[in-house]
Structure 1
Amino acid sequence: LIRCMGDSHRPSRDYEQPEIQPEQEHKGALQISAPGREVSINQLVQPPLWAPKIIYSLAKEIYHYVGEDIVIYETIDSYGAIMWPAALALCSFLENNREIVNLQGAQVLELGAGTGLVSIVASLLGASVTATDLPVVLSNLRANVLRNTRGRCRELPKVDVLSWSFDLKRSHPTGVHQYDYILAADVVYQHDFLEELLATMKHFCGPGTAVIWANKVRLGSDLTFTENFKKAFHTSLLFEDGDMKIFKGTCRRS
């Protein structure tokens, strides 16, 4: 019953028009090995004082979902601003299994939206989407989302800052923020906020809400989070292909 991604979804790369955003500083610091210590590339290569501050953009990628070409730009200033495989798996699943996850007219929240591809596909499938991530990712996320949904969707997605937290009652009260689906792709990796992520999922998961979480298993912490996810939600496995899994969770509250 579960249909997988076909060749038509594989990205094509176009190196002719990189998107450079001035007046913003690249935050990443590449670490390289030196005898007896690690040295930041920033310590070895100091730009001249007149050099502009920019975010370096990778090549654009073009994906094809829901009958549309979707142009995505990535940046190297954050893990969240590049494409990860679970996003592709989730987009393919949503497009090809609409009888399982019907997004037409649904209220959707994406956690850790990154480049915005999942939110774009959900919007093209008819959902009213709020794409969220950290401030460092938001500029590129907003540009990708608006570029690919303006004039194509019945409602433009919202793009908003959301930090995973144990205490969202004040900033995001559940009486105001109610969703049919919470989408998340490759949000579980080596970071220190896995407990906050689970608390955020639980906060937004009200009666009638389903969490659709796609993840490629890489580390032992992924398995620990999966066990905690299963304890927090009524869980079913929607899709599995090797280390790639897509789960559906619904609230355990009485």
Structure 2
Amino acid sequence: MALVPYERNCLPSLSKLHDTSAEFFFASHHFCISQDWNRLGVAAVVWDAAVVLCMYLELGQVELNGRTAIELGAGTGLVGMVAALLGAKVTITDRAPALDFLQANVRKNVPPEKQDAIVVSELTWGENLERYKAGGYDLILGADIVYLEDTFPALLRTLEHLSSNKTVVLLACRIRYERDQNFLDILQQRFILQEVHYDAQRDIHIYRALKTKQEL
């Protein structure tokens, strides 16, 4: 969601994020994702949380075929594209400055016969939510979107607006700071929250949230 450029030398452990592309194989499909760290920062690279969430979707733990999904803070759009190739109809969202880049990745990576399954749309959390049907999605996806404390209230409002009592929210994140855990604690006051997967190699957690108590 945040468009924050970083200097290459200040984060040597993240040097792969400065590559102009990253390649993956999900949903029986090869992805070559364009990256542009220097221009769009965190919004234009593939983070480990996105990779782990794609792996989780491939496991079939969540029904995707014929479902409506929305990805928040999509960045490169990898998660949303994988969900679409696994059978969902997906709205992939991010802030306006990232949309051209996001749309280009969708055009480049999604087969023509699947292009109609994806809509790229502007969504700044907490703003103009009436453009999106309240409770209108079966699945809400977010990869590494829990990291800026100032955005937490708007993110929570957005999740509440988009969710019905049957909506499944999947958040993949690395818990870097106390504030990240604080957001999960607040989310748990509004949703039934459960950790459903942990990738120890990448230190990525996946949380599943539901508005009402259902079988998790």
TM-score where L is the length of structure 1: 0.72
Q: Which amino acid aligns with 1:204?
A: L
What is the rounded CA distance, in whole Å, between the counterparts of 1:181 and 1:134 in structure 2? 20
Q: CA RMSD in A?
A: 2.5
Given that 2:88 and 2:117 are in contact with CA atoms closer than 8 Å, whether structure 1 keeps it comes out as no
* Bigger relative CO (Cα 8 Å, ≥ 6 apart): 2
Equivalent of 1:153, from 98, 107, 114? 114
* Aligned equivalent of 1:91, options 54, 64, 67: 54
Among residues 120, 123, 137, which one is paired with 1:179 in the alignment? 137
The aligned length equals 200
Structure 2's unaligned 5+ residue stretches are 11-17
Matches within 5 A, 1:204-215: 204-215=162-173
Q: Is the 8 A contact 1:233 1:249 kept in 2?
A: yes
| Other-structure match for 1:197 | 155
Which runs of no fewer than 5 residues in structure 1 stay unpaired? 1-25, 34-56
Deviation, 1:191, is 4.7
Structure 1 runs, 4 residues or longer, greater than 6 Å off? none
Q: Find the aligned partners of 1:140 and 1:247 in 2 and give their Cα distance.
A: 28
Whole-Å separation in 2 of the counterparts to 1:181 and 1:72: 23
Which letter maps to 2:67? A
Larger radius of gyration: 1
**CA 1:196–1:27 in 2, change beyond 3 Å: closer, same or farther?**
closer
In 2, the alpha carbon distance for the partners of 1:29 and 1:248 equals 31
Residue 54 (structure 1) aligns with: none
Q: Tell me: CA distance 1:118–1:218, structure 2 relative to 1, closer, same or farther (3 Å).
A: same
Distance 1:206 1:197 in 2: 16
Alignment of 1:246 onto 2:206: yes
Q: Distance in 2 between matches of 1:143 and 1:112?
A: 16
CA distance in 2, matches of 1:185, 1:27: 17
Structure in which a larger fraction of residues adopt helix: 2
Task: Tell me the secondary structure at the aligned position of residue 150 of structure 2.
Answer: coil
TM-score after normalising by structure 2: 0.84
Q: Distance in 2 between matches of 1:149 and 1:133?
A: 18
CA distance in 2, matches of 1:59, 1:32: 16
Q: More deviation in 244-253 or 76-85?
A: 244-253
What percent of counterpart residues are identical?
A: 32
Q: Which stretch of the first structure deviates more once superposed, 119-128 or 226-235?
A: 226-235
- Separation in 2 of the partners of 1:158 and 1:171? 14
Letter in 2 for 1:205: S
CA drift at 1:138:
0.8
8 Å CA contact 1:126, 1:154 repeated in 2: no
- CA offset at residue 59 of structure 1? 2.0
Q: Structure 1's 27 and 211: CA in aligned 2 closer, same or farther, altered over 3 A? A: closer
Shift of 1:155: 3.2
